[in-house]
Amino acid sequence: MEISQKLKEYFSTNKIFFTNLLIIEVVSHIFYKVSFENFLLRDFEINKKVYSESLDFYRTELESPFNTILVNLFQIKDPDVYTLVIYIIFQITLVFICKNLSFLGEYSTLFLFGGWLVTISWWIGFVENISVLLIILYFKNYLLGNFNRFYLYMFLLGINHFGIAIFSTLIFLILINYEKFYQILGTTLASFIVLRLYLKFVVNFGGRGRIRFIFNNNTLDSGTDFVANALKEFLWSGFMGLIFILVFMLISSKYEYVIKYTASILFATIGAAITTDSTRIFSIILIPLIIHLLLEFRDHEFSNNLNKKIILVSVIISNLLIGERFVHGQVWKTSPNQDMESVYNFFARIVNTLMKDIWV
């Protein structure tokens, strides 16, 4: 009875976490349908060799060292093992995302309805899921005043994906009135230096990095075209149902906050438009703004509770009715990553292989 009581108390205390975890699993795996990125196994072969030999082909993804370090640290040789490990890491980040949203309280559930979840669901194998977690962690620790951890997570974000780090940090600075500007600038610069040293002396990177990629022929032209030709879908893809909270806060906030929100969206748009990965980058860069909007919405004093309920219902219903609109060269309603074996077939194959001598 004592164990049963403790379990009840544990689940009661953590009911928001478990609710969020159930929602994020159902939405990502059933509504959005998760998928491995198209070049997962090609990147795996590159990661296996890049520390020991020069390559004829270097992908810009090598500038995000997590997967490369993972493969070489654990000496992963089998593509199925690598694929399984990548999926397990994806699942672990979902758990930690839900766990670390506790500072938003019951409003943490709303965060799950942003466009970032489509991105990390459709691009398993890229490091955006880790970027999302690190942004949440640094924002949370900033609010708690744990500044050593705050700088650590911001530094790790710069290592993980420097492009996302630059623009998401800029938006974060706008929202906090540039407090601790020099410390944040120094942290971001330190992550850039460490990353460049890693690429030069460990990877011996000989390809075009993300900064160089921007100035490839047609990159800027195509990136801006993708945004301009699908502007409504582009904006929706970043916020999804949370766009109703954005509109409400734009209407009800003071002018100085409206300027901050507008500037944040414009810088996020610039960050997405200078690449060809429009929604994938936009939805992640926006996360500091989304967290800030949810905090402001939580603290807003409503004269009529019905208005609040209408907005909350609109967030959820619009996600169901409008669904995914993902700008990546064109407007996608399903994942553009179809070349790899599906996540679902992958696990079916693995289970059938393991059980072949047991099942009749």
The per-residue pLDDT for 57 is 65
Backbone angles phi, psi at 158, to 5 degrees: -60, -35
Low-confidence ranges of the chain (pLDDT < 50): none
Q: Residue 304, SS3?
A: coil
pTM: 0.95
Task: Report the C-alpha gap between 260 and 172 in whole angstroms.
Answer: 10
| Res 207: pLDDT | 64
Query: Could you tell me if 156 and 134 are in contact, meaning their C-beta atoms sit under 8 angstroms apart?
Result: yes
CA atoms of 125 and 161, how far apart (whole Å): 13
Confidence at residue 10, expressed as pLDDT on a 0 to 100 scale? 79
Amino acid, single-letter form, for residue 208: R
Q: DSSP secondary-structure letter at 169?
A: H
Looking at residue 45, its pLDDT comes to 92
Would you call 130 helix, strand, or coil by DSSP? helix
Strand partners, 126: 124
Task: Please give the pLDDT value at position 212.
Answer: 64
Determine phi and psi for 5, rounding to 5 degrees.
-65, -40
**Ranges assigned E (strand) in the chain:** 326-327, 331-332
CA distance to 188, 223, 241, 330, 343, per residue, from 336 (Å): 32, 17, 21, 10, 14
pLDDT of res. 140: 98
Identify the pLDDT of residue 205: 76
Find, among 176, 154, 165, 139, the residue nearest to 260 by Cα. 176
The domain segmentation of the chain, as residue ranges, is 2-335
CB 60 within 8 Å of CB 100: no
